[in-house]
Amino acid sequence: MIHDKEKTKLGIVHRASCIMHRDNKGITLIEMVLGMVLIGIVALVVANALSTGITGFFVVDNRKEALDQTRVAMDRMTKEIRNLKNSASVTTGSATQFCFTMLDGTNNNVLVNYSYVDPNIRREEGGACVAGNGQTLATNIAAATFSFAYIQANGTEGSTFSSVTTKRIKIVIPCTISSETVTLETEVWPRNL
């Protein structure tokens, strides 16, 4: 027979052995806190990697949108300015507006007006040479650096068209979408100058 002292002693030992051997189901508070800390660290690493990827995606997407919009405007302007009828057909040639008569596909005269009105490039066909008229060709264009420049026969660049000396027309179009800027620049050699 076991005495009360021994029972108490055995009970304490038995409880201690249960804790040590983990015969009971469940986790301790320390294990739960460590698990949460580890999950937090893994989540932080994954979130940082995803954030970098998402930021990169939006940068590329904004640059692509700016490039697409600028390229469409540049291609249209280049094609039509190349078909300029002659130097006398230029009505207005300034840094922000170029209005001229060109020959269309059926050899008819067509008045075309390109103008910059912050922040859009506008194109009008068949109307008067008034800045801001017509349909929007491109938007989000930076005012400080958009320009038409007129290159003379001797290679110098001016801000107004000269029917006597202008041989090439330089176009600079910067487009900014969500802080991503794309700038396209080209020189057009009109066929009939």
Distance linking the first and last C-alpha atoms of the chain: 124
Number of domains in the chain: 1
Q: How many angstroms separate the Cα of 22 from the Cα of each of 36, 39, 119, 141, 187? A: 21, 24, 72, 70, 82
pLDDT value of residue 83: 82
Q: What is the pLDDT of residues 166-193, one digit of tens each?
A: 899 999 999 988 888 889 999 999 887 7
User: Is 181 inside any structural domain?
Assistant: yes
- Is 26 or 32 the better-scoring residue by pLDDT? 32
Average pLDDT, the chain: 84
What is the domain range of residue 183? 61-188
Which tokens is 133 given? 């008229």
User: Is 56 inside any structural domain?
Assistant: no
